[in-house]
Amino acid sequence: MSAVHDKLAPTRERGSVAVEAALIITLILIPLLAFILLFGRYFWYYTVAQKAAHDAAITLASSALADIRSNAASALVAEMIGDALGDLDAATAGTVGYTTECWYRIPANSPNVMSFPCSTNATPAMVRTSLSLTVSDPFLAPFTGPVLQTTGFTIATGATVRYVGR
C-alpha cells in the first residue's frame, strides 16, 4: 500500500508550484514593483524640480538690476521653469507653483538679510526661487487614495543664490 502512495504523491503536487508562484507574484511582487516605480518617479520629478529652481535662481541672480525691478527677470524665470518642467505629465504640471524673492541687507553693511519685494530700489544681496508641485500617483492611488485622502506627493524645493548682477 505504501508503494502505491509513493507513486501517486508527485502527480498530486504537480500544479501546486504554479499556484504558489501565481500567488507570490500577484500579492508580493506586483505591489513591490508599483512601489519602486512610484518612488523612482518621485525622485526623478524632485531632481527636475530642483534643477529648474536652481537654474531660475542663477538666471535671476545674474540679471540686470533694472530687469529685476521691472519684473522682466521674473517673466524670464517663469519661462525657464515652464521649459524645464515641460516633460512632466499634465496632472503634475497643473500643480506647479513658484515664487521669486529678493533678500536685502538692511543696513547695507549688515550681515543680516531680510526679504522684500524685488521692485525695491536697493541692490539685493541674494535671490531665491521656490518651486512646489504635486506628483500624481498612478500606481497606488486606486488603493491608497481613499484611505489617505491624497492624490500624490508634494515636492517643495528652492534655491538661494547670491546676487551678482549689476
Question: How sure is the predictor about 33, in pLDDT bands with cuts at 50, 70 and 90?
Answer: confident
Put the strands of the sheet holding 97-105 in their side by side order.
113-116, 97-105, 126-136, 152-162
pLDDT at 19 (0 to 100): 85
Coil, strand, or helix at residue 52?
helix
| Predicted pLDDT of residue 131 | 94
pLDDT at site 162 = 93
Mean pLDDT across the stretch 73-88? 86
3-state class percentages of the chain: helix first, strand second, coil last, to nearest 5: 50, 20, 25
Strands 152-162 and 126-136, bridge-based pairing:
antiparallel
The confidence score (pLDDT) of residue 121 equals 81
